[in-house]
Amino acid sequence: MKQDIRSLLLSTLVALTAAGCAEGAQGGIRAPAPRAGNATTLPGLEGPVTVTSDRLGIPTISATSRQDALRALGLITARDRMFQLDLLRRSNGGRLAEILGRGLLEADTRQREHGVPQAARAILARLPESQRAALDAYAEGVNAYLRSAEALPIEFQKLGYRPEPWRPEDSVLVVLGMFNALSESEDSERTQTVLTHSLPRGVMSFLLESVDPYTRALLGAQDTAPPPLPAEELRALVAQRRNQRPPSSPSQRVLGEDAGEAPIGSNGWAVAGQRTRDGRAILANDMHLELGVPNIWYRAELRYGEREVAGVVLPGVPVVIVGTNRHVAWGLTSLLGDVMDLVRLETVPERPGEYRTPSGWKRFDVAQETIKVRGEPDASVTVRRTIWGPVAARPLLGAPVAIRWTALDPEGVDLGILEMDRVRSVDEAVAVMSAAGGPGCNVLLADRDGRVAWTVTGRMPRRSGFDGSVSVSWADGRAGWDGYLAPAALPRIVDPPSGFVVNANHRMPLAQGAPVLARDHANGYRAYRITERLRETHPVAEADMFQLQLDTRAEFFGFYRDLALRVLTEEAVSRRPALAEARRAAAAWDGRADASSVGLPLLARFRRVLTDDVFAAWLGASRAAEPDLTLAPPDIDTPLQRALEARSADLVPAPAGGWDAFVLGALEKAMMAVKQENGGLPLDQIEWGAVSRVRIAHPLGASPELAALLNMPDEPLPGCSVCVRLSSRTVAASERLVVSPGHEQDGILHMPAGQSGDPLSPHYRDQQRAWVDGRPLPLLAGPAEHTITLVPERR
């Protein structure tokens, strides 16, 4: 859904601007340039601030206080990324149609129906004074840029509008956008609810409670025994599907594109001093997010008082999201936490406009939201709210549902991560992060004493009367939320005996009886591969950690290679000679996802065809109950592989030829699709780089006249959707950080594109080549090539 909105945004921007921008691209663009040399007045400053920039445009801000440093950060970020700042606040506040037209009205309507702008204001009002002061200071810096800019960035010029002043609540809107990317689980709960109501219990358990073999290996003694294969129930579902004349619907895609559109997630690990050459602890973190130009992150170093912080900032939010303060380094991976519930609302025709609550019947709070639409009259949207939250636009199994979500709760969100600038040990860092109210994330930590830790950040609901896995009614008061778990109740691992801790969005070991914080864990292959490599490498140095971030080993696909070779016998190939090509390609695969790897394009498509065909047969009844069902159980491969290993034609939609014929048919479909998409080349000449290509686009970059100027090159990228070097067409590592606290001079940080959002800036794309090629760049800024001095107003 989020990627659909992005595509719509791209196409709408192009339609509005292509003609005018073509002229600008030939010389009419004049980007705002930073002022250097003379002192510049910045209102609100308490003392002078110096901002130096190195050869990559990475700023180092030196101030006497945090507030002054954040004022300067706001100014410099706006100078480099103002259009990105404006798009972020508009997209999260439901105000894109105002500048882009009717094509973005649906996206705006969703944000307004959820009440995101109201939530941002309510959250801001509850923030502690220190956090509010940080947002105020940042806003002052952004607005100082807007007042002084000689020329606005190209996007404003071509769209013909001037951005409004930045408000502190705009920063909260940007934070809520990260909740939407990392902690929004509406589709997941809808899927699980529909499966629970439409499938036999055994099948539902088989699909949703299976633990993949890599995670089982990592968890060891924990109870991860897979649920039994519900053979009889699956046979009944397949037979029901087969007997439909015609089938209720064709196979529906479960996976993404050929490369396997990678899910948003991350890798993170920390290695203790006992496993390094000199006792230093080292942190590694690469966050996998949807890529764009400019990049989602902005690199910065801040120095104020005795504090020094370096890492990446989310434009719009005055916080170093991942980085180091020279005493502690921290990284994040998505928890994929369960922090949203769909509350089934009880309504009756006799009481229109009302719903039942524990205290009796209540009327819906109804409001009209006005959405401005470029070039058209304003649109009016009716929004209904309940005591639990806004009413979702789509009913679930015929009943309305309300959305209860930490992101919409003023008590569920804050900027507690700000305090990471002061922590001096992993113990202090665990205390800060477990109490912070950001999106649910795993936190990896390392300190300068050689210690490492893992914990969880974000508010986690304390549920009573239900487990949160499916939508239920809260009307009788027996089910609901009872506040949030105390920070001390959140899981943590400090000083692990192994000397390292790893998270790659997989299920972590929890104490007996610990609350369930997440259900949609990623397959454990990435975490397993990282763990395997760390056990093999001793001592570990920063260069080793960086190379591990670039690991392209892909044994995950070994199951599908072995399955293909098992059925591609001499007899089978003699009956279908065209399949000899598939056998050669599968046998030629080198077990990696390098750009030069052959065979993997076939295996990746083979996996997708099998998944689509098998799940379509199993979930026909579920899709009949909910046509919009998103067919994406948390772990697709484990139930699929177990059913295929049974070699029973009754468990899959096999033709008359039986199980072998089904698998061969899937191979043939995969082979034809890959060849067709690659100009008919033989399979053993189609390299993975032909399939795994990265496209990092600017919002205006779909215009042919502007593509070369605004977009990063469309080129092969090593890695795959399950590799440690996770990559796909639109999702990949948004940064790679390796750092040892106290040894920042040895640290590594690179990211796609560059610091600047100005296509004519030398810093628009000067980090892209290193990112694609897997070359390290220094964490710390280099020698100053540009200096700005900011001074307070005279009084």
Write out the catalytic residue numbers. 266
Reading the block at residue 713, the tokens are 């090159």
CA atoms of 106 and 1, how far apart (whole Å):
12
* Residues written for the chain: 795
Instruction: Report the 10 Å Cβ neighbour count for 431.
Output: 17
- CA 23 to chain centroid: 36
Any residues with CB less than 8 A from the CB of 296 and at least 6 apart, and which? 289, 290, 314, 315, 734
Tokens of 756: 């600047």
Residue 688 to residues 255, 555, 676, 684: CA-CA distances in angstroms? 18, 15, 15, 10
The answer for residues whose C-beta is within 8 angstroms of residue 81's C-beta and 6 or more apart is 294, 298, 315, 756, 757
By the 8 A CB rule, do 174 and 316 touch? yes
Strand locations in 240-306, DSSP E?
A: 265-271, 282-290, 298-304
281 Cα distance to chain centroid:
27
CB 375 within 8 A of CB 118: no
- Calculate the dihedral angle through the C-alpha atoms of 445, 446, 452, 455, rounding to the nearest 10 degrees: -10
d(CA 659, CA 565): 14
> CA 297, CA 321: separation in Å to the nearest integer?
9
Per the structure block, which two tokens stand in for 534?
Answer: 């760390």
Mention every residue, 6+ apart, whose C-beta is less than 8 A from residue 112: 94, 369, 371, 381, 383
Helix (H, G, I), strand (E, B) or coil at 40: strand
Distance CA 339, CA 332 (A): 17
Helix (H) or strand (E) holding 310: strand 307-313
CB count within 10 Å of CB 19 equals 11
135 three-class SS: helix
- Give the separation between CA 790 and CA 703, rounded to whole angstroms: 39
In the 3-class helix/strand/coil scheme, how is 396-426 assigned residue by residue?
Answer: ECCECEEEEEHHHCCCCCCCHHHHHHCCCCH
341 assigned binding-site residue: yes
* CA triple 93-95-98, angle to 5 deg: 170
Select from 206, 189, 207 the least CA-distant residue to 472: 189
Is 338 annotated to bind a ligand? Reply is: yes
For 692: left if phi > 0, alpha if psi spans -120 to 50, otherwise beta; the answer is: beta
| Three-class SS state of 509 | coil
Rounded (5°) CA angle 688-266-422: 145
Do strands 39-41 and 786-791 pair parallel, antiparallel, or not at all (unpaired)? parallel
Residues of each annotated binding site? 189, 338, 341
Residues of each annotated binding site for Ca(2+)? 189, 338, 341
